[in-house]
Amino acid sequence: MRHRSLLILTSVLTTGALTLTACGSRDENKGGGDSAGGGTTVVIGVDAPLTGSLSALGQGIKNSVDLAVQTANKQKLVPGVTFKIEALDDQAVPASGQANATKLVGNKDVVGVVGPLNSGVSQQMQGVFAAANLAQVSPANTNPSLSQGDNWGKGEFKRPFKTYFRTAATDVVQGKFAAQYLFKDAGKKKVYVVDDKQTYGAGLAAIFTDEFKRLGGQVVGTDHVTVKETDFSSTADKVKSSGADSVYFGGQYPEGGLLSDQIKKTGAKVPVMGGDGIYDPAFISASGEANEGDLATSIGYPVEKLDTAKKFIEDYKAAGYKDPYAAYGGYSYDAGWAIIQAVKAVVDANGGKVPTDARAKVTEALGKVSFDGVTGKVSFDEYGDTTNKQLTVYKVEGGKWIDVKSDTFNQ
Amino acid sequence: MNELPQQLANGLALGALYGLIAIGYTMVYGIVQLINFAHGEIFMIGGFGALTTYTALPSGTTLLVAIPLMILGGAIASVAVATAAERFAYRPLRNAPRLAPLITAIGLSIALQQLVWQFYPDAKKAVSFPEFKGDAFQITESLQIQRADAFVLVLAPLCMLALGFFVSKSRSGRAMQATAQDPDTAKLMGINTDRIIVMAFAIGAAFAAVAAVAYGLDKGQINFEMGFILGLKAFTAAVLGGIGNIYGAMVGGVVLGIAESLSIAYIEDIPGMQQLGGGAWSNVWAFVLLILVLLVRPQGLLGERVADRA
């Protein structure tokens, strides 16, 4: 009896843990195009977390790509071709992303994919796309190894997958920019570094740490948190007793917001800084505690301030999407638009028809696209990285993110 | 600054929260030998019930007035869901092999999460919850207690006392003990065992609602996924203390909470263990502790007291 109940307990724990990944995925795919034009239908895949705690960002990505597709259809940009999106939910789980990639590859109408949000998810998808010659443009992946290979840190740049592109600047740029701002502009010398052990968070924290030390700053302590945990009070007390004058957090806003709150609650009034993963209204609004003075870097210039983005914002409003375009909307629109431009180039070169080897040709054409997008000039370098290295530091003031410094990064 | 008192206080508050949720696991297991894996979601529903109550109150209501009403609203929601689950998901399977209700419980847990996700406005991400304003209580120079922590530290022992009194002194409580010991004989003695089982589910759910309000007040936010990890931890606490034993649930919770806090604070200071400390490893240490206790004392710290049917 005793053994049997122990056995049951163990199996329960395992099964319970499995339910975490087994939650059904839901597809809110409304389909993209108005049935404009007729002719051939070309599908642009979208993969992002459409449910779960990062869904605010994921929905913004999906809607923005949808907007790009609708705009192209309305303008009849590629005569005889109607664009459509197929949006899949990865719930920020790498295994789901891989399954979605396989599904998108299986749909022969898909000529390019926008997504995913998370670098860790992308790692599992890249190989699937590369094997099928299907181009992927991420609006949000910032981990350098995705485009520059595992040894980028040692200065050996090698592009692992020729089908991988991104409109987001990498963490090398972002982490260094953050360190320089915190040390030089904000005058902080003693930082406590916390990360969430994920590809994105840990990578960003490591880059930040190196640059901060190189500048002459001191790292007075480090800790790691677990994703989906909510109690960080012990870590918060360690921060307080370490005497740090600032905290750098590599991770996403659900944990970042709580960590910042719990640090403030201990009475340690130090700012928490993070990357684009925490640059979201939910970082501030999820809790009643004031986050005044917290900092975040994000890629690009503030979309609201760019002339090129005015039309995007108006169109987005007019389209009546339920969720806001969030942090990556502009980049997602540009990613979708880059694929559309590539398709246009391929179709134009093929006498107005979609060629049979469209995927390979689109991948090739993507490397050469160049246009003025929502976020500025859009084009890709030899690694598939964006050539746009603009960054902005945001600060929480009066319960809102306010941009405090925008600059083009140079080493 | 000596960090130890502060880390102990953090662990104690976290543990009291685990303990309050663990009561639900332990009572139901003690009486029907079922691990109600949907209990984490009952806790989550309690939180959303409390939040709904708060939104329905006229604006400007002070937390002092609002909190009892929120606990009440949360408890109504979680008790309703728990008793409905018992009636429609578990009772039909009461004589089925033990694996069947277990699977049902897991299914129910996912269903409840998705229901809240789908139908509660904005529940797709964390939803903000009213929070205690004001500074923490400064006890000594190196020890401060957050207001929300003080709330749970006061409330948890009170709830436990009330429950202990109910189980040992009241008629229904004694009927509950009898049912736990031997349901068939209890039935022959004229005890309505179905009613007792519903009561066990309801009490567990009400405690979970109290825990959910404490959790919300502390974190300032609740989330449709919050029942999963906390439920798992509370279940662990129940096993650690001796599943079936209501005081064991509290003891297990406190031991687990303190173990987590101390492992975050101190394991990395031990020479050679630097890589194994900090927040990332706290769950590992909590489960290592569970395994160690179960190896030495398979019945848990306080032992199984009410269920004795092997």
Mean pLDDT of A304-323: 88
- Judged by CB atoms closer than 8 Å, whether chains meet at B229 and A224 is answered as no
B279 contacts chain A (CB < 8 A):
yes
A110-135 average pLDDT score: 94
- Please determine, for residue A17, whether its predicted confidence score (pLDDT) is greater than 60: no
Q: Which of A57, A89, A93, A230 is the best mutation test for B, with the most CBs of B within 10 A?
A: A230
Measured from the Cβ of residue B72, the count of other Cβ atoms closer than 10 Å reads 16
Within 13 Å of residue B144, how many CA atoms lie on the same side as its CB?
Answer: 22
Lowest mean pLDDT among A91-105, B102-116, B230-244, B264-278: B264-278
- In terms of Cβ atoms closer than 10 Å to its own Cβ (0-12, 13-18, 19+), residue B133 is exposed
Q: Is A78 left (phi over 0), alpha (psi -120 to 50) or beta?
A: beta
How many residue pairs bridge chain A and chain B with CB atoms within 8 Å of each other?
Answer: 141
A7 touching chain B per CB within 8 A: no
Angle between helices A233-242 and A253-265 (to 10 degrees): 60
- For chain A, percent of residues with pLDDT exceeding 90: 65
How much is the pLDDT for A4?
54
> Looking at the partner chain, which of A15, A23, A288 has a beta carbon nearest the beta carbon of B128?
A288
Residue A287 has its nearest CB partner, among B131, B298, B299, at B131
pLDDT band for A198, please (50, 70, 90 cuts): confident
Indicate yes or no: CB of A52 within 8 angstroms of CB of B225.
yes
In this prediction, residue B150 carries a pLDDT of: 92
pLDDT of residue A37: 44
Answer whether B102 sits within 8 Å of A8, measured CB to CB.
yes
The tens digit of pLDDT for each residue in A160-192 reads: 999 999 999 888 889 999 999 999 999 999 999
Compute the mean pLDDT over every residue in chain A, rounded to the nearest whole number.
87
Q: Are B252 and B19 in contact (CB under 8 A)?
A: yes
pLDDT of residue A288: 65
Q: Whole-model pTM above 0.80?
A: no
B135–A267: do the CB atoms touch at under 8 Å? Answer: yes
Cβ–Cβ contact B310 with A under 8 A: yes
Q: What angle do CA A341, A344, A347 make, to 5 degrees?
A: 155
Residue from B221, B284, B290 to probe the interface with A (highest A Cβ count within 10 Å): B221
* Residue B137 at interface with chain A, using a CB cutoff of 8 Å: no
Contacts of A239 in chain B (CB under 8 A): none
CA distance to partner chain B, nearest, from residue A5 (Å): 9
**pLDDT > 50? residue A23:** no
B6–A contact, CB cutoff 8 A: yes
Tokens encoding B65: 């007035």
Query: What residues 47-76 of chain A have any CB closer than 8 A to a CB of chain B?
Result: 51-53, 55-56
CB contact A15 to B (< 8 Å): yes
Residue A32 confidence class, pLDDT cut points 50, 70, 90: very low
> What SS3 class is residue A318?
helix
Beta strands in A49-162 (DSSP E): 81-89, 110-114, 135-138
Instruction: Tell me how close the Cα of B26 comes to any Cα of chain A, in angstroms.
Output: 13
In terms of DSSP H, where are the helices of A230-306?
233-242, 253-265, 281-285
Residue B101, pLDDT > 50, answer yes
In terms of pLDDT, which residue wins out, A154 or A58?
A58
DSSP state of A41: E
Asked if the model's pLDDT at residue A24 lies above 70, the reply is: no
Q: In the predicted model, what is the mean pLDDT of chain B? A: 90
- What pLDDT is stored for residue A307 in this prediction? 79
pLDDT at B51 > cutoff 50: yes
Residue A21: predicted pLDDT: 40
- Element at A378 (helix H, strand E): strand A376-378
> Higher confidence at residue B92 or residue B142?
B92
- Token pair recorded at residue B62: 């002070």
- Report yes or no: B260 at the A interface, CB cutoff 8 Å: yes
| Whether the predicted pLDDT of A275 surpasses 60 | yes
Highest mean pLDDT among A197-201, A288-292, B1-5, B190-194: B190-194
Measured distance CA(B281)–CA(B265) in Å, rounded: 11
Q: What is the structure's pLDDT at A117?
A: 95
Query: Do the Cβ atoms of B126 and A53 come within 8 Å?
Result: yes
User: What residues have CB less than 8 Å from A292, skipping those under 6 apart?
Assistant: A396, A397, A398
Q: Other CB atoms closer than 10 Å to residue A129's CB: what's the count?
A: 24
Q: Which pLDDT does position A208 carry in this prediction?
A: 96
Position B292 pLDDT exceeds 80: yes
Count, in order, helices (H) and strands (E) of chain B.
11, 4
Minimum Cα–Cα distance from A57: chain B residue: B125
Considering CB atoms only, which of B106, B124, B130 is closest to A15?
B106
**Which is more confidently placed, A286 or A398?**
A398
Measure CB to CB from residue A265 to each of B7, B146, B228 and give the nearest one.
B146
